[in-house]
Structure 1
Amino acid sequence: MGGTLRVAVLGAPGVGKTAIIRQFLYGDFPERHRPTAARRLYRPAVLLNGAVYDLSISDGGPGPAPAPAAGPAAAPAAAAASAASSSSASASSAAASAATSAASSAGDGGLQELPDLKDWSLQDMDAFVLVYDICSPDSFDYVKVLRQQIAENRPAGAPEAPIIVVGNKRDQQRQRFSPRRALAVLVKKSWKCGYMECSAKYNWHVVLLFRELLSSILARGCKHSHPAIRLQGALHPNRCSLM
């Protein structure tokens, strides 16, 4: 046995957190959305690189909201835009505009159901999956605040837990609020997190997501490379099977 790996799947209501988990575990997709009223825990076993791991997946439910984060929400997007190439400047600008729009709606209730990380003991998690809807700028801003809270609540001296930001509903690509490249640059360069997109409805990149997640947890012992760098290259040599 390889041990127990604890993962928290978090995001705004309706972005598809439970749908992603159910596709990975059972290969099904609920056509009708039923809000997750309380925190749920799934305990599958997975086989990765010849070792069996007990996976504890926490499916986040709603909780009380904190005060909105201080400062302009577009600042991280601006930093990402300056780091991107000139050919992606306009796309990065679109990401900044989307973040600003989401921040303005946060004060009107856009972040009403942000979970209380202290009450959930998420400091003990080995990794986080932060899910947003690629058609909803509000859900992306929600993920931004979640990431900030995870960093602030991590105990001093505790190993850094890998974070993957996941854009769900890729099947609705035409309705997305910002180009994929702009968001990926922002998440990887400014947030220092992994980034990928998936479709829970069509089971596209769902298994890939969990394979990358597990590989990033196991690669955490490599001290000479950044977590975001380890995330992006950890997949291809590994095989992951649900038991």
Structure 2
Amino acid sequence: MNRFDNTSKQDKEGDNDARGNCTKGNKILELDLDYLERGGGGTLTVGGAPSLEPSPDSLDLVKVVLLGAPAVGKTSIIQQFVWSDFSEEYVPTDRKHTFYPSVIINEHLYEVKITDVPVIPYFPINSYYEWAHYRFYGLRSATAYILVFDLSNVETFQYIRTLRDQMVESRDMRNVPVLVVGNKQDLLCSNTPSASSGLQQLAIAESACGDSREKRRNIVNLVRKHWKCGYVECSAKYNWRVIAVFKELMEMIDALEWSGGGRSSEPPPDSSAGGSTQENRCVIA
């Protein structure tokens, strides 16, 4: 049984250990994970707040860093996942922001540290450069990375391609999951003119859409076959497959936990087995 338990916490400025509670009114909001992934509405079930929180010392801390070109929607993806919130106004990220949701997957509890950082011109090649230019970002010590690009502007993929090459050259990426996310799926070919606006304009628009689809196919092929990385397309604006992004990442991390021998008693439960009838759920406290 897979279940996400998002107890949202955001650290205070300076990223010290004092963490402020960013819960939404101390309510439990249960979201049907499968229903959300299909793009359904946000039907919520409200209940009482939990009486006890698990101690952070008893959890496995997973440090996730989101990277990408400017305005690809990194912050929007995080805010949709943690708060189910989206802002139409674009505000460039000018400093580090950290969020602390708790995630349960395959009956194992993780505390996830999601770090949203300003756009970086390069990945630090060693600890000295990280300390000098990206102090406290935690770039080289991340457990996993989410690399985000804009599906409506595939040129933004080149930024994460260069960044990923630098990561491979500068740190040991074995057992470090990398998930590539194509955001803004809602903008794909949305500006195609109608036939009434002119056959020539329509032909140009359809040709542009065809070129875009070909580039996307090449990206998917490169990421999955050559990089051996996960790939998810989503829309932060409409909260479409945002939960699937973090579910995919946590399944990659959890699989590494099992394969690495961190848990030796039993294999991970099979969510497709007939004995389990409870649906996947996301619980935000």
Whether contact under 8 Å (2:117, 2:137) holds in the other structure is no
Specify which of 89, 93, 104 is matched with residue 47 of structure 1.
Answer: 104
Match of 2:183 in 1: 168
Of residues 58, 62, 87 in structure 1, which corresponds to 2:119? 62
CA contact (8 A) 1:10 1:128 kept: yes
Could you tell me which residue of structure 1 aligns to residue 159 of structure 2?
A: 142
Distance 1:47-1:240 versus aligned 2 partners, 3 A rule = farther
Return the alpha-carbon distance in structure 2 between the equivalents of residues 39 and 8 of structure 1. Answer: 10
Q: Secondary structure at the match of 1:15?
A: coil
CA distance, structure 1, for counterparts of residue 271 and residue 249 of structure 2: 9
3-state DSSP of counterpart to 1:124: coil
Aligned to 1:209: 245
Q: Are 1:24 and 2:41 counterparts?
A: no
> For 2:241 and 2:272, how far apart are their aligned partners in 1?
13
User: Which structure 2 residues correspond to residues 83-162 of structure 1 after superposition, within 5 A?
Assistant: 120-155=137-172, 159-162=174-177
Q: Are residues 166 and 145 of structure 1, via their aligned partners in 2, closer, same or farther at CA, if it must alter by over 3 Å?
A: same
Count residues in correspondence: 183
Q: Which residue of 1 aligns with 2:92?
A: 35
Gaps of 5+ in 1: 67-115, 225-233
Q: Name the aligned partner's letter for residue 218 of structure 1.
A: D
Q: Give the Cα separation in 1 of the matches to 2:188 and 2:232.
A: 14
- TM-score, with length taken from structure 2: 0.57
Per-residue deviation at 1:166?
0.5
Q: Secondary structure of the equivalent of 1:123? A: coil
Structure 1 137/60 Cα, relative in aligned 2: closer, same or farther at 3 Å?
Answer: same
User: 2:95 & 2:272 partners in 1: Cα distance?
Assistant: 35
Q: What is aligned with 1:108?
A: none
The root-mean-square deviation of aligned C-alpha atoms, in Å, is 2.8
- Please identify which structure carries the higher helix content: 1
Code of the residue aligned with 1:125 in structure 2: it is A
Q: 1:193 aligns with which of 215, 229, 232?
A: 229
Structure 2 portions without partners, runs of 5+: 1-57, 124-132, 191-208, 261-269, 274-278
Q: Does the 8 Å contact 1:165/1:196 carry over to 2?
A: yes
2:144 maps to amino acid: A
* C-alpha separation in 2, matches of 1:131 and 1:209: 11
For residues 240 and 92 of structure 2, the distance between their equivalents in structure 1, rounded to whole angstroms, comes to: 22
| Rg larger for | 2
- Residue identity opposite 1:60 in structure 2: V
Residues 164, 236 of structure 1: CA spacing in aligned structure 2 closer, same or farther, 3 A cutoff?
Answer: farther
- Larger RCO (CA within 8 A; separation ≥ 6): 2
Deviation at residue 218 of structure 1 after TM alignment: 1.2
